[in-house]
Amino acid sequence: MSATDRIDVSIEHKRAAPDDQGAGAHPNTCPACGSHYRDEELSRHLRVCPQCGHHFPVRGPERIAQLADEGSFEEDETHLRSSDPLAFFDLKPYSERLAEAEISTGLGDAMITGAAAIEGLPCRLAVMDFSFMGGSMGSVVGEKFARACEHAAEDGLPLVSVSASGGARMQEGILALMQLPKTVCAVEELHDAGGVLISVLAHPTTGGLLASFASLGDVLLAEPGALMSFAGPRVVAQTTREKLPDDFGLAESNLRFGHIDQIVPRAELRPTVARLLRLFGGA
Which pLDDT tens digit goes with each residue over 104-118? 999 999 999 999 999
Is pLDDT above 80 for 22?
A: no
Give the range among 16-20, 58-62, 157-161 with minimum mean pLDDT.
16-20
Is pLDDT above 90 for 214?
A: yes
What's the whole-number average pLDDT of the chain? 90
Angle between helix 139-155 and 179-192 (nearest 10): 0
pLDDT mean over 19-36: 72
Task: Label residue 205 by pLDDT band (50, 70, 90).
Answer: very high
How high is the pLDDT of residue 21?
Answer: 43
pLDDT mean over 250-275: 96
How high is the pLDDT of residue 244?
Answer: 84
pLDDT mean over 250-259: 95
Give the range among 21-25, 225-229, 276-280 with minimum mean pLDDT.
21-25
Is pLDDT above 60 for 17?
A: no
pLDDT mean over 245-263: 93
Is pLDDT above 70 for 283?
A: no
How high is the pLDDT of residue 232?
Answer: 79
The model's pLDDT over 165-196, given as tens digits with 9 standing for 90+, comes to: 999 999 999 999 999 999 999 999 999 999 99
Give the range among 78-87, 191-200, 225-234, 265-274 with minimum mean pLDDT.
225-234
Is pLDDT above 80 for 11?
A: no
- d(CA 129, CA 61) in angstroms, rounded, equals 8
The model's pLDDT over 129-160, given as tens digits with 9 standing for 90+, comes to: 999 999 999 999 999 999 999 999 999 999 99
pLDDT mean over 240-244: 87
How high is the pLDDT of residue 25?
Answer: 57
